[in-house]
Amino acid sequence: MDCVLGYTLGNDTLRPYFNSLIVASCSTVLALLAGSMAAYGLSRITYKPRIASILAFILLLALASAAIMFFHVDWRIAALAALAIFFLAVRALTRRWRAHLGNSDILFWMISQRILPPVVAALPIYVMFQQLGLLDTRFALIVTYMTVNLPIVVWLMYDFFTGIPRDLEESASLDGASRYRIFFQIVLPLAKPGWHSVHAVVEQRQVMELLEPLRAAGARSLLVLPIHHLIP
């Protein structure tokens, strides 16, 4: 036993184990919380985002990213300028172009993010964390893991929420319960089987993920188990 423990400590295996435990647990909880609320909103509230405002947001986001990467503009200034232009322009754009999307379009867009090969986004994510000064931090790993698994959580939890009768929520609303209280005290407990199933799927994906840790953290002190033995 002493030989095994000494080998483990000598080869620094315990640190990647704890890194995996901390990062996977935190990112799973955050992904489940944010994804469950997004799925509940899509299953209960009708959204009609204008196509013109979506295109304007994407364009301004691309311009802000280009200004940060190629012209070394401070990311705070670029973000504030892009948001200011967006809020000023969105009102005029939505008056002229009234075409909009629906909940099904939003849901399909979210799950379609899994079609994108992960290696395509590896370099942009690396540069983004480098510019923000978050490279080689657990926070960057947690955010990366959470973002990658968020579409799966939304897609799976949406089906569980649509199977819950709305009569219970309407009765609670008549009794004065707020939307958040209905979600956390009525809907979420009823969807507990789905919550545990999605938790197991996301946790397993994060523990076995190979490419995501290489995007956000290359320091040996932040390596997780899947890539620990691949880097000498």
The third-level CATH classification (topology) of the domain covering 32-46+125-232 is: MetI-like fold (1.10.3720)
CA-to-CA distance for 229 and 16, rounded, in angstroms? 10
What DSSP assignment string belongs to 29-65?
HHHHHHHHHHHHHHHHS----BHHHHHHHHHHHHHHH
* Stretch (H or E) spanning 94: helix 75-96
Sign of CA dihedral 155, 158, 160, 162: negative
* Burial class, 150, CB count within 10 angstroms (exposed 0-12 / middle 13-18 / buried 19+): buried
What DSSP assignment string belongs to 118-174?
GGGGHHHHHHHHHHHT-TTSHHHHHHHHHHHHHHHHHHHHHHHHHTS-HHHHHHHHH
Pair 131, 173: CB distance under 8 Å: no
pLDDT, one tens digit for every residue, the chain (232 residues): 334 333 344 456 677 777 778 888 899 999 999 999 999 999 998 998 888 888 888 999 899 888 887 888 888 899 899 999 888 887 777 777 778 889 999 999 888 887 877 777 777 788 788 877 888 788 888 888 898 889 999 999 999 999 999 999 999 999 899 989 999 999 999 999 999 999 998 888 776 665 555 555 555 555 555 554 444 5
CA-to-CA distance for 177 and 160, rounded, in angstroms? 22
